[in-house]
Amino acid sequence: MVHPPIYVERTLALMKPDAIDDAEEIEAVILTSGFTILQKRKLQLSPEQCSDFYAEQYGKLFFPTLTAFMSSGPIMALLLARENAIAHWNSVIGPVDPIKARESHPQCLRAKFGTSALQNALHGSDSLPAAEREIKFIFPNSVCECSPVGETASEYLSKYVNPTLLRGLTELCKQKPRNPYTWLSDWLMNNNPNKPKTHDASIVGEAKAN
């Protein structure tokens, strides 16, 4: 029986200003819920940045209050990964209104740390397009795509990663550098088959002139 490939999904989690003091406890829940934390950063957004982040909410009555609150203090941003990450993270944090959450989902994070529909402690992306946009906003250098696991990952590694790595290790054995870790890292960067080809601008200019 052929099983469909399982993909690791990414989502963005924000600990809002009202939850920043509980960051360690919340992070522990994240890890015990099966997530991997790929990246993490503490930052404080300006009102303008908050307006851009919540652009889809523009025009709603709560929008000015929301941007003012989110820019009122530091936040903790985490890039999370696991299978079905978006839906699972939203399940862990629970309903938007913490007061209602305490009745319907008393174990969720918003029920425990939130105080109102505005100050509800945590944010989670609500869809894949939203996750991609929000991750790029907070972690602009992150590659936001689903990654294969299981047999699909093994096939990917065998086809695209192992040949280059084998060449690098073979060359490492020949060169025997003093710092093999740094040498191999540099070699892989310089011999990445997916790296775009670049040309010296002066050479290109001379070629056009000739």
* Distance from the first to the final alpha carbon of the chain: 62
Task: Please name which of 32, 125, 115 lies closest in space to residue 86, comparing C-alpha atoms.
Answer: 125
Active-site residue list:
123
Task: Please name which of 65, 84, 86 lies closest in space to residue 13, comparing C-alpha atoms.
Answer: 86
CB of 49 closer than 8 Å to CB of 138 = no
Dist CA 20 CA 73 (whole Å) = 9
32: number of Cβ within 10 Å:
9
DSSP-derived 3-state class of residue 96: coil
- Which whole-number Å values give the CA distances from 113 to 136, 163, 171, in the listed order? 27, 49, 54
